[in-house]
A and B are shown apart, each in its own frame.
Chain A
Amino acid sequence: MVRLPKQLLQVPVMMLIFSIAVACLANSFWLSAATSAVALSLSVAGLAILYGQLGLVSLCQFALVGVGGWVTLRIGHAFHPPFEVSLLAGAIVASVVGLAFGVPALRLRGLYLALVTLMLAGAFQIVISAWGFPDGGRGFLGRADGSGRTMLARPPMADGEVTYFLYVCAFATIGLLIAQWHKLARPGRAWALIRKGETVAVASGVNVLIYKAWAFALSGFLAGLAGGLLAGNVGQLDGRAFGAFESLNLFALAIVGGVFNWYGAVIAGMLLRALPALLTDLGIDGYVMIGIFGVALFQALGTAPSGIAGQISALIGRFGSRISRRRPR
């Protein structure tokens, strides 16, 4: 049996508190933003595994989100299975594609991997704008002509806005748990060794090939899950939202949020979707947001490599040690 570390418990507890708080307080505008934010935090968790654990820079994560969304919509419109089935299919296909994208990484490292994945993101942008997302039409591409657009139905048990938000939170919790377990258990130790140096890892009996490939597959799986959940949120997707620029932006935010703590992914997701919603609410130009991301990225790279989440956890740590020091008196 797989032993579950105790630290895993904080993931469902925190996510439960977070989701209930948002579900009680938010109106429908905010709920929609929070739903995409939580969904996207899954894809950030995938990036965090690659960059935080292995030091690999993947600049095509948003393309994998697109793959997951595309497959989810396609399966959903073609066969009308339960939503979970199309979602899982999307995640698995994205995982396979992520693995295929990662194949060059088994030979390349560092900058070249970043460039290869950037090329893939660029190529995906062109393919998806030529294909479009399926919206219930016939044929492989599933493009409806003219007026015949159909939306992908949400799962029956989560038809409303609040229930769908909670549904997404539940999936996100499972995804984050899987990611966090990987970090704490055997794969995490293997990845840490690979990061130290592949010779070290090989000498310690780690199968470098399998564990690297596994990281890419897992990262793709999480991205695909995010894509499927996004598709379920509105019922359709827009090809223009999956450009290479989004992948770059997502990576920048993953660093700002923090790649070493699991809640860094949630923070990054909120920054990506909830903060722009706030600015729209205040009537500020959406571009200001991108500028803030830029400043935050450089600040994180220069002074806080573990991101916002790292700073929070350091703060909690200092607070905790002060309390425990006081207790003996």
Chain B
Amino acid sequence: MNILPFIISGLGIGAVYALSGVGLVVLFRATGVLNFAFGAFGAIGAHCAWQLLEWKMPLAVAIFAAVTVSTAISFLYGRLFAPMLSHRDVVVRAVGTLAPALILIAIMGVIWGELPRRLQFPTDQMFVSLFAVRLTFTRVIAIFLAVAMVVAITLLLNRTRLGLDMRALANDRDLSAVLGVRILYTETAAWTITGIFSGLAGLLLADLVRLQGTFLTLLVIPAIAAAILGQLRSLWETAVAGLLIGIAEAVLTPIAWISPYRAAAPFIIALAAVTILGGAAKSALKDR
């Protein structure tokens, strides 16, 4: 059996998981918030893009608007609401992000309904043939974006003052505050960055799978799976884990008896990872 086509088709979804997982880890490292609303931020952006395309706006405007909307919402939550919970423990801060997720699902449901749609880019029609398999340009873009964003974030964290502040916050929040790290500024920057990630991931997933509010919101679950594999710490491990999860999901498709369950692959992998890495993970998760 030739599984190469499935590997290649899994690369696209895998890249989206990688992008989302890295977006989650960046925010978690800097602020200690695990963003359950990540998928919802992306979903509302993707819906805006769909709406603009319906109104015959140019594609570039639609994409720009999508990323802007996701980023703006993420910024607003991070600037106005997240600080209200900043003194609470890590679980409460994560549960708090369920609130914007629910509100965004409601907004999308009222405006656009649950009819499954699909965002279509002209790049879906273009493809390169790789080992006699069609690889659409959208998937190529997804992979390229995932790599580019991880590189950009790594450079930001390692080379800039903001990155230094973020790493300081990740290490010890109180000590960083004493040393003069501008906590609110740094955290808001992290929220903005995660917003960009969510906008891009939402657009890509709306094109590769489908555009539907609750479906895109639950994108956060496989993305969290990738983030767990990266121990909520390492950007590169998260990105690779995301890619591998996407590939694993696709490769299981041809096996008939397992095929209906293949979407559970990310969760099973993450569960196994937590069980094995449990000890190491605990040290990364000292209550902050």
Contacts and interface: CB of A to CB of B under 8 A. Distances in A.
A123 interface: yes
Given A126-B263, A294-B99, A301-B85, A112 B281 contact: yes
Given A110-B89, A110-B90, A123-B268, A290 B105 contact: yes
Given A112-B285, A297-B98, A120 B267 contact: yes
Contacts of B287: 110
Contact of B95 (A123, A251, A290): A251
Contact of B96 (A116, A248, A298): A298
B118 to A, nearest CB: 20
A176 B166 CA distance: 46
A123 B217 CA distance: 16
A22 B148 CA distance: 60
Contacts of B36: 248
B95 to A, nearest CB: 7
Interface residues of A, number: 42
B192 to A, nearest CB: 20
A243 B85 CA distance: 28
Interface in A150-172: none
Given A110-B287, A112-B285, A115-B224, A57 B105 contact: no
Given A115-B228, A295-B103, A110 B91 contact: yes
Nearest to B107: A291
Given A110-B89, A294-B98, A120 B271 contact: yes
Nearest to A126: B264
Contacts of A249: 102
A105 B214 CA distance: 28
A104 B274 contact: yes
Contacts of B285: 110-112
Interface stretch (A9-17, A261-269, A281-289, A316-324): A281-289
A290 B228 CA distance: 28
A122 B99 contact: no
Given A114-B94, A118-B224, A122-B218, A108 B100 contact: no
Nearest to B220: A118
B275 interface: yes
B34 interface: yes
Contacts of A120: 267, 271
B248 to A, nearest CB: 14
Given A287-B109, A302-B85, A297 B278 contact: no
Contacts of A126: 260-261, 263-264, 267
A119 B102 contact: no
A101 to B, nearest CB: 10
A112 B282 contact: yes
Contacts of A123: 264, 267-268, 271
B81 interface: yes
B221 interface: yes
B282 A291 contact: no
Contacts of B222: 122
Contacts of B221: 118-119, 122, 244
A257 to B, nearest CB: 14
B225 interface: yes
Contact of A57 (B81, B91, B100, B106): B91
Interface in B205-240: 214, 217-218, 221-222, 224-225, 228
A294 B96 CA distance: 9
A294 B102 contact: yes
A108 B282 contact: yes
Given A120-B271, A297-B98, A298-B99, A114 B91 contact: yes
B84 interface: yes
A112 B274 contact: yes
B95 A115 contact: no
Residue with the greatest number of chain A CB neighbours at <10 A, chosen from B99, B109, B224: B99
B92 interface: yes
Given A115-B228, A115-B274, A119-B270, A289 B106 contact: yes
Contacts of B282: 107-108, 112
B98 A252 contact: yes
A1 interface: no
A287 B94 contact: no
A93 interface: no
28 contacts: A57-B95, A108-B282, A111-B91, A112-B274, A112-B278, A112-B282, A115-B228, A115-B270, A119-B225, A123-B268, A126-B260, A126-B263, A126-B267, A127-B261, A245-B214, A251-B95, A288-B110, A289-B106, A290-B109, A291-B102, A291-B107, A294-B98, A297-B98, A297-B102, A298-B81, A301-B92, A301-B96, A301-B99
Interface of A: 55, 57, 104, 107-108, 110-112, 114-116, 118-120, 122-123, 126-127, 130, 243-245, 248-249, 251-252, 255, 285-295, 297-298, 301-302
Given A120-B267, A130-B260, A292-B106, 16 more contacts: A110-B89, A111-B94, A114-B95, A122-B218, A122-B267, A123-B264, A248-B101, A286-B109, A287-B106, A287-B108, A294-B101, A297-B95, A297-B98, A297-B102, A298-B99, A301-B92
